[in-house]
Structure 1
Amino acid sequence: MGIDIQNIIVAVVTHHRDKVQSGFAPVFYSEDESESEKLALYLAKVTMGMAHNLENGVYVIVKH
């Protein structure tokens, strides 16, 4: 029986530094929207999470 962390934000990706403040999840800043999308997808794969686009230039990576 393993222990699995679920329903938690594991990372935030954005290119708008003014929209996100650091908190309990690491924040990754990118140069533009296309880099944000690419970085969010890579982080989702690495963390086995899901990337969610908040439609305001911010992506959250969540473990469900």
Structure 2
Amino acid sequence: MAEIVAVVSLKADDVGGGTPIFIAGSKEELEQTSFLLEKILDASAHDLKNGTIILVNRR
């Protein structure tokens, strides 16, 4: 079972829910933030190709 542990997005209006959400100001910031969170949370980053990246922890 996988669990979404964070969401990083360029569009604040497109995301919501109970997981931590990080809003990036540029594509570069989106990628940098996702990369750092991936390492910190020991998670896998998955690009949804719509300006949003989810970080997933597999159990």
Q: TM-score, normalised by structure 2?
A: 0.90
Equivalent residue pairs, number: 58
Residue 3 (structure 1) aligns with: none
Structure 1, unpaired ranges of 5+? 1-5
Residue 25 (structure 2) aligns with: 31
Q: Which runs of 4+ in 1 moved over 4 A?
A: none
Structure with higher Rg: it is 1
Q: TM-score, normalised by structure 1?
A: 0.84
After superposition, residues 36-55 of structure 1 pair within 5 angstroms as 36-55=30-49
Structure 2, unpaired ranges of 5+? none
More helix by share: 2
Partner letter of residue 47 of structure 2?
N
Root mean square deviation, CA, Å: 1.0
What's the % identity of the aligned pairs?
A: 34
Residue 15 (structure 1) aligns with: 10
More strand by share: 2
